[in-house]
Amino acid sequence: METLIVNYYSREKRFAYLRDNRVENIVMDRPEHRSLVGNIYFGTVTKVLPGMNAAFIDIGEEKNAYLHRDVLPSFVQSTEKQKNITSYVHQGEKMLVQVEKDATGTKGPKVKAIIEIEGNHLIYMPQGRYVAVSKKIADESKKAALRRIGSQLKTEEEGMIFRTSGIYSTQEEISTELQALREQYQDMVQKAAPMKKPGLILQKDTFMEMVRNQAARMKTGDIIVDDLALKRMLEPSNENVKLTYYNGKENIFSNRNVEHEIDKALKRIVWLDHGAYLIYDETEALTIIDVNTGKFSGKTDYQDTVLKTNQLAAKEIVRQLRLRDIGGIVLIDFIDMKREQDKQAILDTMEENLRKDEKRTKIIGFTELGILQLTRKKTKITLSEALKVKCPVCEGTGRMLSPETVAFRLERELFEHRQADFEAILIETTPEVKAALLGENETHRGTLEELLHVKLYFIIQASLPHYYQLKQFGSRDELGSKENASL
């Protein structure tokens, strides 16, 4: 049984995918952390680094982007692959680039100059030069047929990647879509032509794309949304998938117990069945996961107990990688196994469970010290980075909920009281949370109060950590006087 729950009503957009009532994936999209992946920019080369075969590009965002030589059209089209990046690009050069990885930590976004424009049946690359077919298509004869069609339709410098739906398309449909994508690219080139400063050319709605992709993969189950507009946009084609609209006062994530799963995914310790547990330590460079038997003693010999604990851990680790959206290098310190067949059993368990993961993951293997190494593709910040900020009290050694996270939680609880029979709500909170809730110069106050049909009053308390409390419900006169008395 599959379930997709989409919380679209407030400014922070979220969706959760559940299999057999167990949360497998959580995706969040908020204004300050909106993914740039897929966006196309008009950029300027600010610095060329011959030693790294790379360049930095000003794309008009906070940090300059990183561009490697191998994703330059001039390099792809060159017959001499040994030349340095200085042969293909120079400082001050203008170009279109596309983000393939968001900025993380101190690093800026990673971009490519080989633009990809997505259609329903194919991905068009104006300067890609090659034809490829989705790996999900297993039939070799159909792959060969699509490659022939692509080679016939494209120019020498163009490239395309056929999507899974391409096998159901006629050559005429593919040709029509290819021409439309060509025109879309030319529109972007014309838009960039008069631009003097770096800036955005095309913005991609990655959140809605991920929702649609997740919905399209569902074979049976329910899609539950809290926004009527979204209900019209996500009407499933699969008759075994039912779409319903949730209009309860309680936030949809709280109603379905997903909020609790988010809180668990932010904790350093994750408890397993039978009393074993995992410890997560995330750094900018890598993530370390430590497996402990805890209270689990088993009913057989010690090595069998170790194997069973490690197998439980392996399954949960893969799930947590998806939930926390952990990418980059991951080191897993399983409980020491003496038998080689036990290590192979853990590798088999990891590989089996990783097949469900949409992101590319590579298992490197066990080191001599028994540490399992793997890498997982990282395109954006982790759940922890998105929801927490470094704590100024402990100088960054720990983390705490950010004002924005607390403000969004407050907003969701306020929506549970919308259209109530009282006139006003008195809220005690920190100045940072109030600012995040109401926006700069309180620009969101009017809209929020109109949606709630209540007036908001505040008692402000300086505090770390950030918090809020709904102190009282009542009339405007009564609660307004209490707000004034606290000033």
CB 269 within 8 A of CB 279: yes
Torsions phi, psi of 239, nearest 5? -70, -15
Per the structure, the count of domains in the chain is 4
- Coil, strand or helix at 458: strand
CB atoms inside a 10 Å sphere around CB 387: 22
User: Any residues with CB less than 8 A from the CB of 52 and at least 6 apart, and which?
Assistant: none
Claim to verify: residue 71 and residue 193 sit in the same structural domain: yes
Claim to verify: residue 47 and residue 186 sit in the same structural domain: yes
Claim to verify: residue 218 and residue 360 sit in the same structural domain: no
Claim to verify: residue 311 and residue 332 sit in the same structural domain: yes
Pick the last residue of a domain from 219, 245, 260.
Answer: 260
**In angstroms, rounded to a whole number, what is the distance separating the alpha carbons of residues 481 and 476?**
8
Torsions phi, psi of 454, nearest 5? -140, 160
Q: Is residue 71 part of a domain?
A: yes
Inter-helix orientation angle 340-354/302-324, to 10°: 20
Q: Kindly report each contact of residues 277-281 with a partner whose C-beta sits within 8 Å and lies 24 or more positions away, as own/partner.
A: 278/313, 278/316, 278/317, 278/320, 280/320, 280/324
CB atoms inside a 10 Å sphere around CB 293: 20
List the beta strands (DSSP E) in 163-259. 199-202, 221-225, 241-245
Considering the entire predicted model, what is its pTM?
A: 0.74
pLDDT tens-place values along the chain, 487 residues long? 899 999 998 889 999 999 988 899 999 988 777 889 999 999 999 999 999 999 999 999 989 999 999 999 999 888 788 899 999 999 999 999 999 998 887 889 999 999 999 988 899 999 988 899 988 788 889 899 999 999 999 999 999 999 888 888 889 999 999 999 999 999 999 999 999 999 999 988 888 888 988 888 888 999 999 998 888 778 777 789 999 999 999 999 999 999 998 998 889 899 987 788 999 998 878 999 999 887 655 556 788 889 999 999 999 999 999 999 999 999 999 999 989 999 999 999 999 999 888 888 999 999 988 999 999 988 778 888 888 887 777 666 677 889 999 999 999 999 999 888 899 999 999 999 999 999 999 999 999 999 999 999 999 999 988 999 999 999 999 999 999 888 7
CA dihedral 475, 479, 480, 483 (to 10 degrees): -170
- Coil, strand or helix at 156: coil
Element (H, E) at 347: helix 340-354
Residue-number span of the structural domain to which 456 is assigned: 402-486
Claim to verify: residue 56 and residue 192 sit in the same structural domain: yes
432-460 residue pLDDT tens: 999 999 999 999 999 999 999 999 999 99
At residue 322, what is the residue type?
A: R
Q: Is residue 67 part of a domain?
A: yes
Claim to verify: residue 329 and residue 242 sit in the same structural domain: no
Which CATH number covers residue 423? 3.40.1260.20
Claim to verify: residue 198 and residue 98 sit in the same structural domain: yes
Pick the last residue of a domain from 237, 260, 283.
Answer: 260
DSSP string, 231-265: HHHT--S-TTEEEEE---SS-HHHHTTHHHHHHHH
CB 43 within 8 A of CB 94: yes
Claim to verify: residue 251 and residue 283 sit in the same structural domain: no
Claim to verify: residue 222 and residue 355 sit in the same structural domain: no
CB 467 within 8 A of CB 401: no
**What is residue 253's predicted lDDT score, i.e. its pLDDT?**
94
Pick the last residue of a domain from 358, 376, 394.
Answer: 376
Structure tokens at 417: 């009281």
Distances in Å between the alpha carbon of 416 and those of 9, 176, 305, 420, 460?
Answer: 12, 48, 47, 9, 22
Claim to verify: residue 190 and residue 57 sit in the same structural domain: yes
**What is residue 14's predicted lDDT score, i.e. its pLDDT?**
94
